[in-house]
Amino acid sequence: MCPKIGWQACLRWHLLVFACAPHIQAHSHVEFHGSIAPLGSDSSGVTSDAVPHPYHRYTAESLMRRGGTIDAIRLCKLAVMAAVLGSLAAICIPGQKRIFSKSPKEKPSASAYPWQELPPAEAVAAAGATFSDSVGAMRKALLARKMQPKSRGSVLIGGGEQASEALIVQRVQGARRPFAAQLRKIGMQDLAPVTLQKASELRKALGSSSRSGDFAGTWLLKHTLAAGDVDGVTCFKGADELLEFWESMPKSTRCSYFAQADIQHPLVSNGFHIKAQAFVLVLDTGRWFLHREQLVLNTTPYDAANPRQKPRVSAARGTASAHYVEVWPRLQKALSTAAQHKSFGRRWLGEKQPGMGYQLFVVDMAIDQDKKPWLLDMFPMPEVPCKASASSVWEEVMEDTCELLVTPLLWQLRPRAEVGKAPDSGKTGLGSETSGFVEISEPH
């Protein structure tokens, strides 16, 4: 028996004894009447056929006197019984809680990976190998799997208005939340530059006595709907200049922007700042997957003299970059740290809705001279790339997304020979590779 449980039982027993002791001493003169009348006789011993009761009848004062109190012996028995029952409850109930808490969680089926479980085969057959609301690289990947577009009715994979009728649903993210600002709020300021969502927050930071050199360099005012550094970004020389411009906006417009400090020692090659974009697949079960391919962006430096001038950007395949070997492991570690925090995971997609939900994100990052990636933002991945040079990378990411998410359901719908090789469900641990994706969150 656990010592803690034993002391609880002893304490309950002593409390009962102490509670009953004064009562027992005050009524120790109570007489116990054990006279039990035989069956078919009254208290005087005279047999009577008028009482057909099959059980013993007790006298009016056999265990309790008329109008008296409970006798001492019975009271002691009740106290002992209560102590025993209390001890049993103390042993059994906590023990059951420990057993249930230590029971392992049900592991997902091997053929369902990365989903927790697959819908019934009948539901998959009723939907058919169909999709909706898909264009660009995603549409090309679905057509390659002999899936047919369908505008109405149940679909295997879809989004938008068809979300409630689809088995696999592309989630529509709600209000834009700057990724860097969220990281700093949960204490991960080493992963992202200073990012503030309100002009009042920036004014408060500038007025603080602990003001540092972070506010003296180049600052960027970004629109919440900006995708990367091409559109919706204005450059300023210092946070004071940015704040003056920000507060000059109408109050109804201010909330659509956020301020972000540019990194102080960017990685430079041939006069271009080296930035990158990574691709993260998030499921509403809480699982995050990072794709091995990236886009390296060669960007012209910001010019504070021409704050509205758009930087020139050229894109190249990340795995072919000379810096990929050093940058990618650090990016994987940084995003894995964020993915396993309680503020992210499945919450990044908003409220859970019907269907098996997913969203593919682009992670914008800057790279400094030490090859450290700084996470700037995370926004839903467009199906059509903004640069023609990125189209091959876009198609590869979409292909691997379909391979990971759609293939398990197609296995229920078609013969194995038509679908291809079964998904390798053995690679389900942290850091394991499935198609082009690597899981960076702990399985749920």
What pLDDT, in 10s, does the model give residues 12-24? 555 555 555 554 4
Query: What was the pLDDT predicted at 266?
Result: 92
Backbone dihedral region for residue 83 (phi beyond 0: left; psi -120 to 50: alpha; all else: beta): alpha
Query: What was the pLDDT predicted at 54?
Result: 44
Which residue among 215, 239, 262 closes a domain? Answer: 262
Q: Which residues contact 168 (CB under 8 A, 6 or more apart)?
A: 156, 157, 158, 355, 356, 357, 358, 405, 406, 409
Q: Is the pLDDT of residue 284 over 60?
A: yes
Note the pLDDT tens digit of each residue in 121-167: 888 888 889 998 778 888 899 999 889 888 777 888 886 555 567 88
Beta bridge partners of 273: 268, 299
Asked if residue 281 is part of any domain, the answer here is: no
Which residue among 214, 230, 262 closes a domain? Answer: 262
Asked if residue 117 is part of any domain, the answer here is: yes
pTM for this entry? 0.70
Asked if residue 393 is part of any domain, the answer here is: no
The first and second tokens of residue 358, run together, are: 């997913």
Query: What was the pLDDT predicted at 136?
Result: 84
| Residues 81, 11 share a domain | yes
Gyration radius from the chain CA atoms = 36
**Where in the sequence is the domain holding 123, given as residue range(s)?**
111-170
Q: Is the pLDDT of residue 269 over 70?
A: yes
Q: Is the pLDDT of residue 53 over 50?
A: no
Query: What was the pLDDT predicted at 412?
Result: 81
| Residues 75, 7 share a domain | yes
Q: What's the mean pLDDT when you consider all of the chain?
A: 74
| Residues 163, 140 share a domain | yes
- Please tell me the distance from the alpha carbon of residue 121 to that of residue 362, in angstroms, as a whole number: 33
Which of 87-101, 143-157, 190-204 bottoms out in mean pLDDT, i.e. has the lowest?
87-101
Backbone dihedral region for residue 232 (phi beyond 0: left; psi -120 to 50: alpha; all else: beta): left
Asked if residue 424 is part of any domain, the answer here is: no
Query: What was the pLDDT predicted at 9?
Result: 54
Number of domains in the chain: 3
The first and second tokens of residue 255, run together, are: 């909330």
Asked if residue 184 is part of any domain, the answer here is: no
- CATH number for position 238: 3.30.1490
Which residue among 235, 262, 289 closes a domain? Answer: 262
- Please tell me the distance from the alpha carbon of residue 192 to that of residue 337, in angstroms, as a whole number: 13
Asked if residue 64 is part of any domain, the answer here is: yes
Query: What was the pLDDT predicted at 429?
Result: 43
- Please tell me the distance from the alpha carbon of residue 15 to that of residue 209, in angstroms, as a whole number: 60
| Residues 8, 31 share a domain | yes
pLDDT band at 346 (very low <50, low <70, confident <90, very high): low
The first and second tokens of residue 92, run together, are: 């059994």
Asked if residue 368 is part of any domain, the answer here is: no
Note the pLDDT tens digit of each residue in 394-443: 999 999 999 999 988 888 887 544 555 554 444 444 444 557 999 998 76
Of 120, 103, 104, 102, the closest CA to residue 112 belongs to 120
| Residues 96, 160 share a domain | no
Taking every pair of C-alpha atoms in the chain, what is the biggest distance, in angstroms?
Answer: 123
